[in-house]
Structure 1
Amino acid sequence: MSHLFLRKFISRVVSLTALALPFGPLAANAAPSAANLAMIAEPQTLDPMGTTADLVGTIMQHVYEPLYTFDAKWNVVPMLAESLPKASGDGLTQTIALRKGVKFHTGREMVADDVVASLQRWMEVSPRGKAVAKEVASIEAKDAYTVELKLKTPYAPLLSQLALPTGMAAIMAKESIAPQLKDFIGTGPYRFKERRPDQYTLLTRFEGYASRTEPASGYAGKREALIEELRFVPVPSANTRVEGTLSGQFDYADLLPVESIGRLEKAGNAVVPIMTESFGFPYLVFNTKEGVLASQPLRQAVQIAFGPGEMMAAAFGDTRFFAVEPNHFPKGTALYSTAGADKYNQRNPTVAREMAAKAGYNGQPVRILASRQYEFHYNMALVMAEQLKRAGIKPELQIVDWATLVQRRNDPKLWDIYVTHSGQFPEPMLSPPQLSEGAPGWWSSPAKQAALAAFNQEMDPAKRGALWGKVQQVVYDEVPYINVGKFNSLSARAQRLQGYTPSAWPFFWNTSVAGK
C-alpha cells in the first residue's frame, strides 16, 4: 500500500495528541485493578441475542453465560447445565439438568423458568435461535432444575448452537427479559455497570459468581474475575490500536494490521504480539433477495471474476497469516471436502464478462459494503472492486463504520455484497449465518434445504463429512457467499496482562494485571 507510511505517521501524531484526551482521564482515574481493552468499534447493541457480531459476543460473554460452551479442543461441555443432556432413544427429547446455586447479578438463584424464558426469547430474536426454533417442538420446565426440550426431527448441531457466544443463547433473569433489553442481568463473572457511547463499556467483578470447578479449558471450566473492572474501549482505527498498545495505553488490543507485527516484536518486553492460529475465514455475502445480484447467473459470473488469492494477499500480506484454499474446513478434519473447488479462485475476467452478458447485465453498479475498522475487510474490498472492473462489472464501494454496516446489511435495498469474517468452528451451522434461513443475504433454495436437512439430521459424525461436501457444492453452485480463504489473526497484550489465552472471542476472566 503506497500510503502506508503516511498512515503510520498520522496515526503516531494522533496517538500522541488527540487520543490523550478521551483515554487519558480514563487511565488516570482507573481503579486499582482495571484493564483497558481496545476493541475495533462501538458495539451496536449490548443484547447478546440481537446480533451475530463478534464484538457484542466478545463483551457480553463476560456478563451472560450459556447452558453449554466449548473447551480448548472445541468439544461441547456444560456451563450452566449440570451435564450434557440425557437424550431419549430417538434423540427427540433432550432433558437438561441445571446447576444449583447459580446466582444472577441481582442475587437471585437461576431456575428452569429463567432458562425456558431465555431460550424462548433466543428463538424469537437471535438469527441462530430462529434457525433452531424450526427444529424445536416444545420447551418446558419440568421442575426448578430440569428443562425438557423436544425436537421435531434429530438435529445434530443443537448443542453447538446453544454454546456459541455470538447470537448467544444467553440465560437471563426472567424479569429482565424484554423485546428491548434495559437491564443486563446474567450469571457471568462480570456484571454490567455503565456504557458511555464512543468512550467505553464498563463491566465490574460479580462477587457472587458461582464458578464451575473443572480446570479452565478454552471457554469451559473454572472462571475467576481476577481483574476488578474491564473497560472495553472502542478504537475504530487499527493503527491507533497499535499506537495505544505500544504507548502502554491499552492492556489488550484486538485485530491489529498484519504489517504492524514487526513494530510489536521490536517493542521489547512491554508488549506481547499474539497470533491466534486457525482464527477464521473472511467471506463475501451476496444479496440473493433484491438488486443486481439476486440473479444467480450473475453471481456465478462474479465468482468467476474474483481471485481470492489476490484478496488474501492484499488483506494479510505476510504468508504466515493466510492460506488460499477452496475447502471450507481444514485438511485432516472430518468435514474436509474439495467439492466445488474448480469454481474457486478463477480470476478470469474474460469468462466472467461473457457470463455477465448472458445473464443480462447492463452496467448496473454492484454496491460493495465494507468497513475500514477491519483493515483486512477494506483491503479485500479494494481488490474486489478492481477485479469487477476487469470483468466489465461496475463496482460501487460503500465504506462505513462497522456498526453502520451491521445495521445496513439488514435492509436488502441498500447493498449487493458485504465483506465480513467468521471464526473457524467445528460445526458448519455455527457460521456463516447464511447457512440458516433469514440471515442477511436471504439465501433460500430447494437444493440448499435438501442438502442441509440431510446433513443436520445425521447424528453420526463419521457420516456427516460426505453430507457436508454436498452442502459445499451447493454453495459453489448458487453463490450465496464466497469463502475467501483462511487466516490467523494478530492482536497484542501488554506484558502486565497475565494469564490471557488466545481465542476467537477474547475473554478476560482468569487474567490479571500485574502491578494493579
Structure 2
Amino acid sequence: MADKGWEAPVLMGRRSAGSLAASALLLAGLGGRGARAAAAAGTTLRVALINDLTAIDPVFSQAGFVRNHGFFVYDQLFAFDSQGVARPQMVERHEVSADGARYSFTLREGLRFHDGQPVRAADAVASIRRWSRRDVVGRALAAATEALQVVDDRSFTLTLSRPFALVTEALARPTASALFVMPERIANTPHDVAITDPTGSGPFIFRSEEWRVGDRAVYHRNPDYRPRAEPADGLAGGKVVKLDRVEWVAMPDPATAAAALQNGELDFIEQPAPDLLPTLERNRQIRTMAFNPVGFQVWLRINHTQPPFNDPRIRQALLSAIGQEEVLAGMGIRPSEQVADCPAFFFCGTPLESRTGSPSMAKGDPERARSLLKQAGYDGARVVFLNASDSPLNNAATLVIADAMQKVGFNVDVPTMDWGTLTQRRNRREAPSAGGWSLFITVANVLDGQNPLTNLYLASPGDSGLTGWPQDDELEALRRSWWEEGDVTKRQAILDQVQARAMAVLPYIPAAQFRTLAAYRSNVEGLRPTTIPVFWGVSKG
C-alpha cells in the first residue's frame, strides 16, 4: 500500500555529493569467574568509550553512546566511506528514475537477523518510517516523500513528491538518531517508546544477560554476519570481525582508565583525559591516534521555553560571557589540538565554515554580557546548568562556563549527575525550579553538525523539535532555502545567512572546538580514523 508521505514535515536541504563528502566523515568486570573464563578462550577487546551504555534504542535517544551501541548490533542500508560518500551497505543495488523522483532498492541476499530470521524489505521500510518520526534528517526526507512501498521480500521503492538530492546520504545517517535496520516487529514500536529488544543483523550480538549499567556491556561476534566483499572504508565496506568478544567497560575516572590501559586491563580508550596523554605517550606499549580527525565542538544547549533564556537578550548575554580560550584551557586541551576562536555552527576547518554575523569568541565580552543582563531586566532567576560529572571534558567545560556566568551576574546552580541521568532529565519541560533545566553541555563531532540539514541542534521548529525546543521561523525558512537551491554559489550565500541568523537567535552556542587523541595498546591493529568508534577489522595480538 502506498504511504502518502510520513509525519511531521520539517525542513530539508541539499548539497552536491562532492561538497557533502568534503564536509562529512573525514574532512577528514563480568559477573562471575565462569564468564571470565569463557571470555579468555577467545580474543577479547576491552574498550572504554566516552560514556557508559545506559540505553539501547538508537531512535528514541540521540545520545552518542546509544549510536555507538547501534554500530555494534545493527547494519545500515547505506554507509559513509572515508570521503563522506554514501555507499550501499545492506543494499545490493539501487536505481534512480530519469526525473530523480523514484528510487528503487534491492537488498543483498542472505542477510539475517540475530534470531535467524531473514532481513526483508518490510524490515527496512518499517525502520525508515520509525526513524523518520524522530530524526531531523529523517523528518526532512519524509516531508519530501510521496510513497514508501515494499515491492517484494528484497525490494522497496521511495517516491519523492518534490526534489531531495540527498536520499542515499539521508539513508546513511550515522549519528543523532542514526538509521539502523531492525526487524519489522521491533521497528513497529512507537517512536516515543524505547525498545527493549536489541535484535539486529550487524557484525556483533549484544549479550543482554551480561549487561550491567555502571560495569560493562558485552558484544560477541555474529558468526552468521555476511560482510560485503570490498574492504572497509570509513563506516562502509566489509565489516570483517576478527574479535570473539568486545567488552565496553564503564570507567568514568580518567586516571583509573589510564592506569588500566597501561597495565593491560584495557585495550582502548576513546578519549583519555588530555592531561594524562603525555604519560601515556611515554609508554612504549601504548599508541595514540586522531580517531576523530576533524575534532569536536562543545555545544551549550539552551532551554528556550523557560526563563531566563526565553529572552533573546539574555541568550546574547550568555554568548558574551563565554571565552573559548578559557574553556579550552579549563578542559586541559593541548594548544596543538585547540581551535582557539571558532564561532562557526558548521565547524571550523571545513568547506562549510562560515563566520558571517559572528563575533570573535576567543576572549568573550563580560562588559557586554553585564550590559545586556541589565537591559533585559534580569532579576536573578536561577539558572540550572546540568553537569555530567562522569564525562571529564563536559564536566570541565560546564564548570568553566558556569564560573564565567557567575562573574557577569547570572545566578547559577550546577547539579551534578551522570551522563545517562542527564540525557533523561534534559527531556523534562518543567520550570528549572520544578525539576527542569536551563543549560547543559554536549560534545558533538562533525557528523552531528556538518550542514544546515544534518545539524540536529540547529533545527528550530519549537515543541516538535529536540530538547531545548528553540523556535524561529526565519531560521527554518533559511534552512529550507539552503537545500532547495540548486546553484552552488547561491547555496553558499544562503549558508552564510543561516550562520548569521543562528548567531542572532542562538538555538545553541558553539562554545569551543578541539581535537582529542585516542589511546590503545600496541598489540591492537586495524583501528581507523572513523570518527565513530567501530571495531570491525580490528585484531588483537
Tell me if both proteins adopt one fold, taking TM over 0.5 as the criterion: yes
Name the residue aligned to 1:501: 528
Give the Å deviation of 1:313: 2.1
Give the Å deviation of 1:432: 3.7
Amino acid at match of 2:125: V
> Aligned partners of 2:363 and 2:477: how far apart in 1?
28
Which structure 2 residues correspond to residues 47-86 of structure 1 after superposition, within 5 A? Answer: 47-83=57-93, 86=96
Uncovered stretches (5+) of structure 2, i.e. residues with no partner? 1-28, 431-435
Name the residue aligned to 1:479: 506
Pick which of 26-35 and 368-377 moved more.
26-35
Name the residue aligned to 2:106: 97
Give the Å deviation of 1:415: 1.2
> Aligned partners of 1:390 and 1:24: how far apart in 2?
53
Deviations 1:25-78 (A, max 9, x none): 875652321111113333231112121211111122121011111111122211
Uncovered stretches (5+) of structure 1, i.e. residues with no partner? 1-19
> Aligned partners of 1:132 and 1:290: how far apart in 2?
31
Other structure's SS at 2:416 match: strand
Give the Å deviation of 1:157: 4.5
Name the residue aligned to 1:16: none
Deviations 1:433-479 (A, max 9, x none): 34264111111211111111101223555543222211111110001
Other structure's SS at 1:110 match: coil
1:395 aligns with 2:412: yes
User: Per the alignment, do residues 84 and 400 of structure 1 end up closer, same or farther by CA in structure 2, a change over 3 Å counting?
Assistant: farther
Name the residue aligned to 1:15: none
> Aligned partners of 1:373 and 1:290: how far apart in 2?
27
Give the Å deviation of 1:488: 1.1
1:244 aligns with 2:253: no
> Aligned partners of 2:88 and 2:488: how far apart in 1?
20
1:124 aligns with 2:133: yes
The structure 2 residue matched to 1:423, chosen from 445, 448, 453, is: 445
Amino acid at match of 2:328: M
1:162 aligns with 2:176: no
Amino acid at match of 2:454: L
Name the residue aligned to 2:249: 233
> Aligned partners of 2:144 and 2:240: how far apart in 1?
35
Pick which of 61-70 and 142-151 moved more.
142-151
Give the Å deviation of 1:404: 0.9
> Aligned partners of 2:164 and 2:32: how far apart in 1?
48
The structure 2 residue matched to 1:193, chosen from 207, 218, 223, is: 207
1:215 aligns with 2:231: yes
Give the Å deviation of 1:331: 6.0
Deviations 1:295-333 (A, max 9, x none): 111101211222122112222331122102223345664
1:447 aligns with 2:474: yes
The question of whether the paired residues in 2 share the 8 Å contact of 1:69 and 1:219 is answered with yes
The question of whether the paired residues in 1 share the 8 Å contact of 2:347 and 2:446 is answered with no
- TM-score normalised by the chain length of structure 2: 0.85
Give the Å deviation of 1:88: 4.9
Name the residue aligned to 2:24: none
> Aligned partners of 2:288 and 2:500: how far apart in 1?
38
> Aligned partners of 1:375 and 1:63: how far apart in 2?
27
The question of whether the paired residues in 1 share the 8 Å contact of 2:77 and 2:171 is answered with yes
Amino acid at match of 1:393: F
> Aligned partners of 2:33 and 2:499: how far apart in 1?
49
Name the residue aligned to 2:182: 172
User: Per the alignment, do residues 332 and 364 of structure 1 end up closer, same or farther by CA in structure 2, a change over 3 Å counting?
Assistant: closer
Name the residue aligned to 2:147: 138
Name the residue aligned to 2:377: 360
Name the residue aligned to 2:6: none
User: Percent identity at matched positions?
Assistant: 27
> Aligned partners of 1:436 and 1:24: how far apart in 2?
51
Amino acid at match of 1:509: W
Name the residue aligned to 2:17: none
The structure 2 residue matched to 1:410, chosen from 414, 424, 427, is: 427
Which structure 2 residues correspond to residues 286-301 of structure 1 after superposition, within 5 A? Answer: 286-301=302-317
1:279 aligns with 2:295: yes
Deviations 1:107-151 (A, max 9, x none): 332221111111112123446534543343331112332222233
Pick which of 222-231 and 40-49 moved more.
40-49
The question of whether the paired residues in 1 share the 8 Å contact of 2:458 and 2:507 is answered with yes
Amino acid at match of 2:183: A
Other structure's SS at 1:485 match: strand
> Aligned partners of 1:128 and 1:314: how far apart in 2?
34
Name the residue aligned to 1:511: 538
User: Per the alignment, do residues 400 and 135 of structure 1 end up closer, same or farther by CA in structure 2, a change over 3 Å counting?
Assistant: farther
The question of whether the paired residues in 2 share the 8 Å contact of 1:49 and 1:126 is answered with yes
> Aligned partners of 1:133 and 1:468: how far apart in 2?
23
> Aligned partners of 1:315 and 1:79: how far apart in 2?
38
User: Per the alignment, do residues 239 and 431 of structure 1 end up closer, same or farther by CA in structure 2, a change over 3 Å counting?
Assistant: farther
> Aligned partners of 2:397 and 2:538: how far apart in 1?
34
